[in-house]
Amino acid sequence: MEPAFAVLVGLFFAGGIYLMLSRHIIRILLGVVLFGNAVNLLIFTNGRILREVPPVIGEGLDMPVGLVANPLPQALILTAIVISFSFFAFLLVLAYRAYQEIGTDDTDGMRIAEPVDDGLPPMGY
């Protein structure tokens, strides 16, 4: 099962990087989401995928008897999903607001908002 997830993680990373190299903001945002899901799946896969044995220590034992799934990566992923969703919502609103102001979602077209020949910022205080 883990090799299939490893291939899926690789595909998610490749797709995320491909989308982040685009010139359009929406594709970049979707690439960030895909990249985040790839990281979550990677963490989940590293925590072992076992359904047969729950991660419960029996009475009178100091540690589990056999191989069990690690619950810590699962808890971390649940937290990461909530954080990544709120981050994506914020970036989506930010991209929409930029589109409203500038009129394009193309990153080269957004260079219009940058000042031309304003000189360098101060080099010291």
pLDDT, one tens digit per residue, over 44-73 is: 888 776 666 666 777 888 877 777 777 788
Nearest Cα to Cα of residue 94 among 32, 36, 38:
32
pLDDT at 28: 93
pLDDT at 38: 94
- pTM equals 0.73
Q: 2-52+68-108 maps to which CATH number?
A: 1.10.287
Mean predicted confidence (pLDDT) in 19-45: 92
CA dist., res. 36 & res. 77, Å (int): 10
Nearest Cα to Cα of residue 13 among 55, 45, 54:
45
Residues 6+ apart with CB under 8 A from 72: 47
pLDDT at 49: 66
Which tens digit of pLDDT belongs to each residue from 95-109? 999 899 888 888 888
Q: How sure is the predictor about 84, in pLDDT bands with cuts at 50, 70 and 90? A: very high
H or E element that contains 75:
helix 71-102
